[in-house]
Structure 1
């Protein structure tokens, strides 16, 4: 069974986690800053399988910051393999991927997991579905590049990401200011606008 047919796929930020506790989440992928304390919100969740990866949401090396690496993407895809193996018709699954804001690391991970599970689906279709899950998605370009390579997508995910960035800027021009403030001008330059 592919994730396309999974009962629930959710992306959120830390502040939204309490709202998810009653939604029968079975699998959680937490992508958080290295120095963030353990999140208490998960104590209120039902039993679930959780993996936590710690790195910053950056695209350029910076002092005292941990870049996303190919090893992080490998761990994300390993988590995806475990999630896919756990799916059965008798036991519906609910995958929750979160980062600090639910905008960049988590959306990059979610679209990568969707690409892993739906290898014949076009990258454009995957990004369309990602926006349906999380309209404010601005996936981390470094992470998408690693997924592209590790999934053998030959640049298809990155090309679709560029078009996605363009659509997001057209939909909400404030992305330009926001990404500039965060030092993500390279992603703004990647954007393909119609």
Structure 2
């Protein structure tokens, strides 16, 4: 895949979407809960390419909820291919990836897109860049595992995710409690 040819990368939550409308967003990847309405904020945006994915931010099966699947990550990668394919039509672009809070699904998707567009970049450097974009990043581990497989990273993305979780807990210890409360204690254990 060619470079995304995107000069600006943004990750945010739904409540932050109105703040992005003046920033010349050219591409949007929206990740929403299946029953959540489409955010109204996009009505104020300039024309842009947008893909919407719908699944829950969980890592274990929960009755009545849609667990992230390989096909969701494959859709993220197809979105990356679409962004790269359109690079000849622009000199720069602004990619916005959002979920509900801008912490888990969106950061996993952005990490996947960065890994796709820069296959030579080390996994740890990808996570460093992710934190530069979104300091509170806590990527969904299930999505990262699928991305690792799809991108033939041979477990290196998952290993780097473990180190990332450890750094995030060291920086902000309350992450451990929050993730346990959300049923994501396995991710906290990954950092140990």
TM-score range, shorter chain: over 0.9
| Distance in 1 separating the partners of 2:55 and 2:84 | 24
Structure 1 residue 124: deviation in Å?
A: 0.4
Q: Provide the aligned C-alpha RMSD in A.
A: 1.1
Deviations 1:13-69 (A, max 9, x none): 000000000100000000010000111100000000100000000000001100000
| Distance in 2 separating the partners of 1:35 and 1:90 | 34
The reply on whether 1:10 has 2:7 as its aligned counterpart is no
TM-score, normalised by the number of residues in structure 1: 0.96
Structure 1 residue 155: deviation in Å?
A: 0.5
5+ long unaligned stretches in structure 2 = none
Deviations 1:96-115 (A, max 9, x none): 00000000000000000000
5+ long unaligned stretches in structure 1 = none
Match of 2:145 in 1: 145
- For the residue of structure 1 that corresponds to 2:160, the secondary structure is helix
Q: How many residues align?
A: 191
- For the residue of structure 1 that corresponds to 2:114, the secondary structure is helix
| Distance in 1 separating the partners of 2:65 and 2:118 | 33
- For the residue of structure 2 that corresponds to 1:22, the secondary structure is coil
- For the residue of structure 1 that corresponds to 2:98, the secondary structure is strand
| Distance in 2 separating the partners of 1:7 and 1:88 | 14
Structure 1 residue 152: deviation in Å?
A: 0.4
- For the residue of structure 1 that corresponds to 2:180, the secondary structure is helix
